[in-house]
Structure 1
Amino acid sequence: MKRTKKLLMVGLSLVCAVGLFAGCGNSDSGNSADKTYELGILQFANHGSLDNCREGFLQGLKEEGIEEGKNLNVTYKNSGSDAATDNQIASSFASKDMDMICAIATPSAQSAYNAAKDKNIPVIYTAVTSPKLAGFVDDSDKNVGEITGTSDLVLADDQLKLITDMMPKVKNVGILYSTSEVNSKAGIEAYEKAASKYGVKIITQGTSSAADIPMATDSLVKKS
């Protein structure tokens, strides 16, 4: 249990900078060098930004004295954007009593939390847009269990400002989103809230799978 708490403490110091070096918290990692930690990393898909989250997390652990190949064993799995595979991998991690699970993207984080919560395995998430909608925090914004992480909620106001600065005559802004991810709702709401400030209308089109993206894009273009 002590080594689990130690790895959790280091993990908490890392989530302050997703994809970058750890920049907050106590850098004193104590006697971590004489222990070997088991870390499971569950990533939802192959994507540059998600890869950066994974690499940055491992780099941050290294900065804190916990390094793969020395005192850290890493089991990395990618679910290939498949929810069922996500659940299988998360269950496998939980059954192996990992010291910690790092889950990258909302679906993977939900799978990891559901699988690990009864095993008291801490989960650190990254690339989660709305922790509240995902079920990781309660109405008072407190963590619901041994889970914490960072949100990548889009800065809709800044993005719409950039769009209207570059295209002053723009009237409609189209957003293609995944209907299977709860964080899509939070992102769309942020854009809709900021839209009136810039005199634009938000037009949305949902898609349930990668195969549907071309058709959904065509539909969105016609709406716009």
Structure 2
Amino acid sequence: MVLTVQDLACARGGIPVLEHVTFALSPGEVLLLRGPNGIGKTTLLRTIAGLQPPLAGVVDCAPDAIAYGAHADGLKATLSVAENLSFWAGVYGGTDIEPALAAFNLEKLRDRAAQNLSAGQKRRLGLARLLVTGRPVWALDEPTVSLDVASVALFAEAVRSHCRAGGAALIATHIDLGFEARELDVAPFRAVEPAVATGFDEAFL
């Protein structure tokens, strides 16, 4: 297993939102997180990625194994597409950005500043960062926002390629991505809210 989650509880704004979440992710596997808006999918992903502490339970994963992709694209506006990818490749110890450019059809945009990209192009560039991290587990929160049908297909192929190479993906999404994957409905794990919040606010992390 590349990721094991056991009896995990997590909170938003100090209020428990999910509890007793348990699952495991194997190499080559995709797990789709399903559930209505506000149920806690984002909070769960942030907790698994180590961006906020759990209230209870265990996340068992190798150190630095998870690449987290959120709603924000994480781009430097004044840098070009190629410069953005080179920056992130350097952070993760890599140098070759060409496969990432090709995977998300960004070759012709390589010299364009990120601030001059459309919303969909920015999203493709943000997702291309995953390919330069070298990390085996992708934890992604609604990754197809702003993408057209062709770009969703590029993303789906990137995930398939990642899994063929032994990687795995944990994806919160409402849409059909067009590939085989397990699904986990997080609604049954909704926590019972306490009468008084704990006072903890992960926004300060």
TM-score (norm 1): 0.34
Decide which structure has greater helix share: 1
Decide which structure has greater strand share: 2
Q: Which has the larger radius of gyration?
A: 1
